[in-house]
Structure 1
């Protein structure tokens, strides 16, 4: 199995997911319990596996093919940006989504973390040294933040002889609604994680900003300029500091920005999705894309 995937998700979860996909059709035909976790050797110190949430996860006979296609599309997009004189930007429209999936636990319709697999592909295949994830969505990307934290933690204090990919750095910067999933039930740990702000400490660069309600577009753009744009400032700072650190050590720096783009905070979403009365106007998506493109161009320069 490709290290691009196992460096993010390990081997045990990938083994388990394949078994579940391969047996999904037969289980659905029998009793509809395709999410029952298989009995596999998870190691002597491994706790009993958590039950998967049936409300927002499901599998069928073609699920593995769909997952492989999604990851393949992400990796192909990364290749197109880094190979020869190709485009400097790529957009990948894929399902299933990924930002709720942690290293070994799926949730929120997400079985694998697409954006982290894309970053790892950039690291292993194109020498990426650091990457920033900008995640805009109604919901906090708890899985993406967790993987970034674990990756960065492993990189602190490594020996000179450690695998170079473990020394890379990933920043996570998110705009979301603190009252929506996964925080809707008020779980203390989830709310704290979705509110975490840490700036270049303990190897971490993570910044979360919460959406607010607005009554006019003028009011929204004031929020954008005075509150939401801090994500742009933190992204710029992270990229600059990592580049300067590497160059000071006479190492090459190669960075990328990955959008984890969710559109369920749109003002045109269903009333059920907007039950907490926060959203963004359509122009937000074009504006943040332009602003992040400027940051990417600064990094190239």
Structure 2
């Protein structure tokens, strides 16, 4: 039994040793498996990168093909341009030959012009001499002109003074003329105002009556005042005299526009007595009243000094 136990222990130890080796091998395998998995992951990433690179290469290929097509097109265009340039070159060659011929002709012309310039230089020298002589003569003329200018300036100053005096006199005369024209215009307007249209004036019957009505009222008021006690008779008599005169002058304008005879009423006269005197009957007084309503308030009361127009 001890021998078997010893063998069993030996086997157990051997098994434990093998187990330890197996464990070590398992750990190694697990490590290798992890490494393999890591490598597999790296391979996946590399494959993805390769796919991206392939895609980019395909795009670059397409771009390259497009660029190649464009290059071919550009090459064709350049070939056309080269052909055009060849044509232009030929044309330029022709133009160059023409220009060379023109240059030759121009050189010949320059030679001719050089001869002309030499001739002109000689003429210039002669003209320079004449110019210097002219300058000397001009200097003398300028001196004479300066003296004449000084004399002329003195005369101009004198004339300006005379002109200023004349202008002042003209202004005075113009002012007097304007005053005379203004006064004449006023007098002409006043004269036209008292002349009928047939005599060149602007007087009409209505204006004439209105002009006569004012002194008639003044005369009437003064006559009424004379009949009051305590009146200043001397002043009223002067007023009556002036009003009668103004009224007579105004009524004469009415007579000139409407026709009729002027008559100044005396003390104690009435329209009936005036009608009887001029028309032969006193009942004709309404005719006088109608023609003089602008100066009469009441046909039954006619104040002495009143001027009537008898139609």
What is the TM-score with the length of structure 1 in the denominator?
A: 0.20
Question: Under a length normalisation based on structure 2, what TM-score does the superposition of the two structures give?
Answer: 0.19
Larger relative contact order, structure 1 or 2 (CA cutoff 8 Å, min sep 6): 1
Structure richer in helix, relative to its length:
2
